[in-house]
Amino acid sequence: MNPYSIVHLNFRSDIMKMKYNTLPEYNRDFKKLVKRFTTLAEDLERVKKNAIELCHVNGMCHNVEEIKGAGNTEDLQFYKIRKIASRSIPGRGSQTGLRLIYAFLPKEMEVTLIEIYFKGDKENEDRKRIKEFIKSIS
């Protein structure tokens, strides 16, 4: 038996499907950034599979970091992905400066994309936006 096939048997993405939502503010952020990073839509599809789903479905959270002090509970958690590879920025690998902020609802296996930004434009995530999201689902 091929030793690599064992790894593939452990992936559960075909069993549990992740549901994705976006905030209107996220959509505005995305529209601005996609003008500068033309492959951003494709890049984010890879991030969904290679970071978000690997983390929350398979437990392999390599590039996903929990945002401390954001109001995380057992039912609602906030995460940041710092290393997003973009084909629009050749030669930089995952050190592009793109950041993705999202909320994860584990019981529903649901992700809401809250914010995407370029570190050159903005230093940190918008905590106010996170707080507004918490209010909107409470």
Query: Do 79 and 99 touch, CB atoms closer than 8 A?
Result: no
User: Is 8 domain-assigned?
Assistant: no
What pLDDT does 96 receive?
59
> What is the CATH number for 77?
3.30.2310.20
117 DSSP β-pair partners? 99
pLDDT higher than threshold 70 for residue 16: no
Strand-pair category, 110-118 with 19-22: parallel
- Counted residue by residue, the chain has a size of 138
Q: Which residues contact 112 (CB under 8 A, 6 or more apart)?
A: 20, 21, 22, 23, 102, 103, 105, 133
The pLDDT of residue 11 is above 50: no
In a domain, 63, yes or no: yes
- Residue 42 forms part of a structural domain: yes
Q: Is the pLDDT of residue 88 over 70?
A: yes
CB 88, CB 65: distance < 8 Å = no
Residues of the domain holding 116:
17-137
Residue 33 located in a structural domain: yes
Number of separate domains in the chain: 1
- For residue 4, is it within any domain? no
Confidence of residue 13 (pLDDT cuts 50, 70, 90): very low
Question: In this structure, is residue 56 part of a structural domain?
Answer: yes
Output the pLDDT for position 90.
58
The percentage of residues in the chain with a pLDDT greater than 70, rounded to a whole number, is 83
